Structure 1
Amino acid sequence: MARNGQNAWMGLGLEMWTLGMESASVIGLRTMKLAQGGPAAGREAELMVSEKIATAFDVQMKLMTGGFGFIPAVAASKAVGEYATKVRANRKRLSR
């Protein structure tokens, strides 16, 4: 959640910590999927790489063009939020 004010950087730290924990669960779920092998593992590997490239490109463009605003802590929080959205969607998909 983007914030202005004195605690913006502290809030960003919490958002990043949460993203790290959620990412760890996705890594575990993906590892199990890849370890099973077969066509599904190949599709997952392709999806993983293409998603990372697309998201990194989108976030970089928004940061460079002011799409996240011009207040550093707010822009950083919105960038972390973009990644968090993708991670949560992957966790949901891989948990089925």
Structure 2
Amino acid sequence: MNNELMNGATPGAVGAVSDSGWSNTKIFRQYLTDHFLKYIPGRNNDNVLLLLDGHKSHVAVDIIEWAQEHHIIIHVLPAHTSHILQPLDVGC
């Protein structure tokens, strides 16, 4: 990855690219391990619910197994429901 792509990014931010330009399981796993897991507040092995779309990189067997090991419950949102679930995109 060209490090110039990260110029001006928030300190500690990490970037990743794939040959195809699309997200994949490797990039998603990197996000989960290097970012998501780090920022889940004081869990003490409590379960965490992670809402995802059904992209194939999100539902790979190794990702699901990893999530189970880390007490993360993956819930895949139903396809073609963005018009109903759009409020999830609104920030607090």
* Larger RCO of the pair (alpha carbons < 8 Å, separation 6+): 1
**Common fold: TM-score over 0.5:** no
Please identify which structure carries the higher strand content. 2
Which structure shows the higher helix fraction? 1
TM-score when scaled to structure 2?
0.28
Q: TM-score scaled by structure 1?
A: 0.27
